[in-house]
Structure 1
Amino acid sequence: CWFDSGSMPFAQWHYPFENKDRIDKKISFPADYICEGIDQTRGWFYTLLAVSTLLNLGNPYKNVVSNGIVLDAKGQKMSKSKGNLVWPKDIIDQYGADVARFYFYTANPIAEPKKFDLKDIQTLYRKFFDTLNNSQTFFSIYIDEKFQPIKNFQSANLLDNWVISRLETLKSHVIKNLDNYDIVGAARLFENFVDDLSNWYIRRSRRRFQRPVKREEKEEASQTLYYVLLELSKLLAPFCPFISEKIYQTLNSQEEESVHLVAYPKLDNNLINQKLEEQMKKTREIVNLALAERAKAGIKVRQPLKKIEVKEERPGEELVDLIREEINVKEVVFNKDLENQLKLDTEITPELAEEGIIRDIIRHSNKIRKKLNLKPEDKIVVLYNSSSKAVNEILEKNKDFIAKETLSEVVSIGGEADKSFDHEEEIKSDGDNTRIAIKKIN
């Protein structure tokens, strides 16, 4: 049995009685790689090498990829008798084949035993697959009906250029790892990129999709996100064939019928901007430090603050704007002589408190829009009624701004909602109760 398995590379060609050139001239030998469980080190891997050596043909394979043994969450061998067996079909039925595949790519270094824990599958599903799916859904919701992708489109927007550079850097590292047969290293890169795409690029680009100041803003963002999702679907296809196909089909690409018929992406070094990536990394570090200071002071992010001082050289204005908006401060000052890394002004003036109330109301209103599955083009009437007279006065004074930010045709303050309203709920904001009622009017 083992001699037969070791003879496989030669027996399949009836060597040496036929097809001698295929082996002797290295046409079909040695194999580029071999893949099996770690237990085959003394099995198939060994017999292949032994038979090939006896025939004076040298190494029968160029690379070895070895899978570790799957154990239960406690590190015990799985078996029916122990009652710790997990059936692959159950995992696939509940979470999908892509999730199961990707889990084994990323769980731990190749060839090491894998302690299978269902909680890890659930976390992967939520953090990676849900996030990726939501990114594609966001594009589908906010894209214009007449959108047409433009080949080699170039955006002037800094955030667009950053995410394109991140994508090309991802390509570079994934391709390099695959060439080195490092499947785990390649797969893990996708997790960070999808997080960057969703929780930084898309989140920071929402206004350009939802409320663009100029038409060019939305066009730049749309072309960029289309390109990133399309290239990502191709790059991810060998790892996660089903969700990659879903994204590809949703984008209506005219390249090929299926993502699996498209050539694997090629690297374009001209699109990589290492300096910009480093600047954005530093920007996000500043933001994270500042948000930690907010949390320490017990001040929510939606509450605007006056100023933050940062011990860094001043970057470009677009990056300064990103910091200011993310931290929700009116001014960002860069001071190299600062004693600590940053200094956050936590004083909340009456004007800042008022703005915080408005932001909170807008946030809750848009959450209700989402709960009602309203589309951006759906207009609404919204009624606010607070237990605080002062809050009602603030809302009345700012109702035009609230209408713009909540995509409302009419904003009314005070009074009771009649039965024509689709939804009503009460929220608590800074100790006061405010009722929000919404109805769709188109």
Structure 2
Amino acid sequence: MQYRTNPDYWNQWYPSDLISESFPGQFRNWFYSLLVMATVLDNSPPFKANFTYGTLVAEDGRAMHKSWGNSIEFNKAADKMGVDVMRWMYCNHKSENNLFFGYNRADEVRRQFLLPLWNAYKFLVNYAILDDWTPNGETLPILDNVLDTWIISRLNQVIDKVNTLIQNYDPFNATLVVESFINDLTNWYIRRSRRRFWRSEQDNDKKHAYAVLYHVITTLTRLLAPITPFVTEVMYQNLVHSNNPPQHIPFEGEGQGVMSHESVHHCEYPKADLSLVNDDILDQMSVARQVCSLGLSARNQAGLKVRQPLSKILVHMGDYHTELKPEFVQIILDELNVKQFEIVSKVESLVAYQVLPNNKILGPKFGRQFPKIRQALVVADHAEIVKKVNNGESISLDIDGESVVIYPDEVVIQTKPIEGLAVGADKHMTVGIDTIITDELATEGMSRELVRHIQALRKEAGFNIEDRITVYYQTDGDIANVFDTWTDYIKEETLTNELVSGTHAEEIFTKSVKIGKHEVMFGLKKI
């Protein structure tokens, strides 16, 4: 380092930007030695940042030893787990703790991170091939669909957070931010946008959906390249380099087209464009998703599958002051498969509360006064007490002209949905769904069951997702009427050109399924 002979050279390289080693092994060795020597030399810190980590141990928590049969050789782990999975395991871990390393943990990482990311990529590739869609130098389109605006807002939020966390040597929280985004991408954006990709018309909304998803996936390849360099390179080569040289491509965070690089690792790291972060859309979508979550909880409690349409959802917004715009209401209606959306001003429209004293606490605490406490709770405003309990606030009761204070853990709250409703609730919002199923709703529900079975049979028969088919069916009673009433819907959802009641002489794929109490014999023929 030429400390004595070349001060300029020394100052160019000292102090170090980063050092990294195992904390247990080097705390009293390398780290301590550097600090002591730097103090003696010029009383300065020898490094700007020190990234340390715990010990890698087996999944059983013990040190790895061949004699114990719990050690894993690196090359064997790399071949079986995959190097990108291993790298994500290291990053997706609090460095100060020991890392429990093994194949079960690797499977969990693959399931939670790598497979959802790959499935999003494959979804884009498969449907782009079917529609013969290519980016053709398209830049990010006008964001006139709330789902597009939302996912681009989330993407730029994530880019901004990941940049900050990586610069602060915090890969653990960076991976958490990315995993949350991939969940949003796959379980919300793509799932809620499926019909935009499915439909046959090549309208602007479909083209915009392709362009937005392409932008998101290609940006993710660059964002994740330092952590998972191999899978991101495969994705980049297929999506960008092999299809675009030397065209301009729409994956720069600044929205400017650049020439295709030979590798994702030659690209600039993405930077957030905070002008694309729409806080109102993010807030609205957050509320809409919470409504959907509570609505699905209510359905589960009532044993009602999402395929069964329902007439109405009723929402008490509670602590939320966001007024949902029509496009977000429509997302809720589609997600929960209900016909109408209604805001109610009083939670009592959805649930009846009963507030009871916690006898084990209040009995000994108040002694002879306890019966009066119990009676005061009976006549109190139960909705107001529930609100205070949810907020962790104390409850004041008037007992013989004196104020008596009791606390949230000193009462027991029982809830009962209003008749005809199923209810899901948290501390801030209550959602009720109308559980009364009319004949019309029941028939529509059976049509969705038929679609589900036909889709499953398509897959079982080995058909491609783009194959058009003819469906033959044999049944009677109510199910036969469903085929007649919902013919167009069933055909559209299953890529069926013709629905035929009866059998067919040619060799076709056949299978009998049970829908409720009815047996249906299906025959599927690829056209």
TM value normalised by structure 2: 0.77
Paired with 2:462 and 2:149, the residues of 1 have a C-alpha distance of 32
- Look up the match of 2:458: 369
Task: Determine helix, strand or coil for the equivalent of 1:420.
Answer: coil
- CA–CA distance in structure 1, aligned partners of residues 513 and 109 of structure 2: 32
Query: 10, 18, 26: which one pairs with 1:40?
Result: 26
What is the CA distance between 1:383 and its match in structure 2? 1.7
Residue in structure 2 matching 1:432, options 518, 523, 526: 518
Shift of 1:329: 0.5
The amino acid across from 1:43 in the alignment is N
* Count of equivalent residues: 422
Picking from 471, 486, 489, the partner of 1:382 is 471
Aligned to 1:352: 441
Instruction: Report the structure number with the largest CA radius of gyration.
Output: 2
Q: Return 5+ residue gaps in structure 1 as ranges.
A: 1-9
1:169 aligns with 2:154: no
Structure 1 outlier segments of 4+, above 6 Å: none
The residue matched to 1:332 in structure 2 has which SS?
strand
Distance 2:471 2:346 in 1: 49
Q: Distance in 2 between matches of 1:85 and 1:95?
A: 14
1:213, distance to aligned residue in structure 2 (A)? 5.9
Q: TM-score by structure 1 length?
A: 0.91
Distance (Å, rounded) in 1 between the aligned partners of 2:522 and 2:173:
49
TM-aligned CA distance change 1:403 to 1:16, over 3 Å: same
Deviation at 1:214, TM superposition (A): 6.2
Give the counterpart of 1:405 among 493, 498, 514.
Answer: 493
Q: Tell me the distance in 1 between the aligned counterparts of 2:120 and 2:223.
A: 16
1:182 alignment partner AA: D
2:468 corresponds to which letter in structure 1?
K
The letter of the residue matching 1:269 is L
**1:6 alignment partner in structure 2:** none
Pair 1:321 & 2:330 matched = yes
* Alignment-derived partner of residue 104 in structure 1: 90
Once the two structures are TM-superposed, the CA of residue 195 in structure 1 deviates from its matched residue by 0.8
**In the alignment, residue 446 of structure 2 is paired with which amino acid?**
I
Cα distance in 1 between the residues matched to 2:176 and 2:325: 32
Please give the residue correspondences for 1:156-195 in structure 2 after superposition, counting only pairs within 5 Å: 156-195=144-183
Determine the C-alpha separation between the residues in 2 that align with 1:370 and 1:33: 53
2:507 maps to: 420
Corresponding residue number in structure 1 for 2:279: 274
Q: Secondary structure at the match of 1:150?
A: coil
How many Å separate the matches in 1 of 2:461 and 2:8?
A: 69
CA spacing shift, 1:188–1:285, aligned 2, 3 Å: same
Counterpart pick for 2:36 among 35, 38, 50: 50
Matches within 5 A, 1:287-366: 287-312=292-317, 314-339=323-348, 340=350, 341-366=430-455
Unmatched runs of 5 consecutive residues or more in structure 2: 245-259, 351-429
Cα distance in 2 for partners of 1:260, 1:311 equals: 50
Quote the sequence identity (%): 35
Q: Give the CA RMSD over aligned residues.
A: 1.8
Q: Which has the higher mean CA deviation after the structures are superposed, 157-166 or 370-379? A: 370-379
Cα drift, residue 84 of structure 1 = 1.3
Amino acid at match of 1:402: I
Say which is worse superposed, 43-52 or 172-181, in terms of deviation.
43-52
Q: What SS does structure 1 have at the residue aligned with 2:240? A: coil
CA 1:356–1:94 in 2, change beyond 3 Å: closer, same or farther? same
Q: Distance in 1 between matches of 2:462 and 2:214?
A: 23
Q: Between Structure 1 and Structure 2, which shows a larger proportion of strand residues?
A: 2
